[in-house]
Amino acid sequence: MEKQTGFTHFDEKGQAVMVDVSGKHETSRTATASGRIAVSRAVYEAIEQGTAKKGDVLGVARIAGIMAAKATSSVIPLCHPLPISTCRIEFRMLPAESAVEAQATVKVTGQTGVEMEALHAVSVALLTIYDMCKAIDKRMEIQSIHLDRKSGGKSGDFVR
């Protein structure tokens, strides 16, 4: 295999490679990502009142998000498998916007960060809300998935 220069996902020949993190020190790393899903009033009420036919929408979405964080390297090419220490998914009901906000915080002690794991967790949690509520209304819209903050590693802290 060709030797890599810098932190890039391409070697000197332009071929995709997994970044070599073997020389990096293990540090505590945390990333938080969030996004939202805009829903109709009927969907909002079904989530809030727990009356969706498929069951506890936010409970299932929380589990799906955690599972997604743990499986990120199997979905995102060249992403390192990480021994995640914790993944927390929180939801906030936004009645004025008829929306649900999801936020994922992922932690690891390792040689690379967990930004992709947090972003993947939020994405799958929101997709799960869509899946569980699509029988009520398919016009839901997933919006504004982004990294809120991260800490640890050589690049230091980031706050959006």
Active site amino acids: 131
Q: Binding site, residues? A: 78-80, 116-117
Q: Are 47 and 56 in contact (CB under 8 A)?
A: no
Count Cβ atoms below 10 Å from residue 81 Cβ, excluding itself.
Answer: 11
Amino acid at position 111, single letter: Q
Q: Is 111 helix (H, G, I), strand (E, B) or coil?
A: coil
Q: Is 38 helix (H, G, I), strand (E, B) or coil?
A: strand
Q: Are 107 and 84 in contact (CB under 8 A)?
A: yes
Q: Binding site for substrate, residues? A: 78-80, 116-117
Between the CA of residue 48 and those of 2, 60, 90, 115, 144, what are the distances in Å?
54, 14, 14, 29, 21
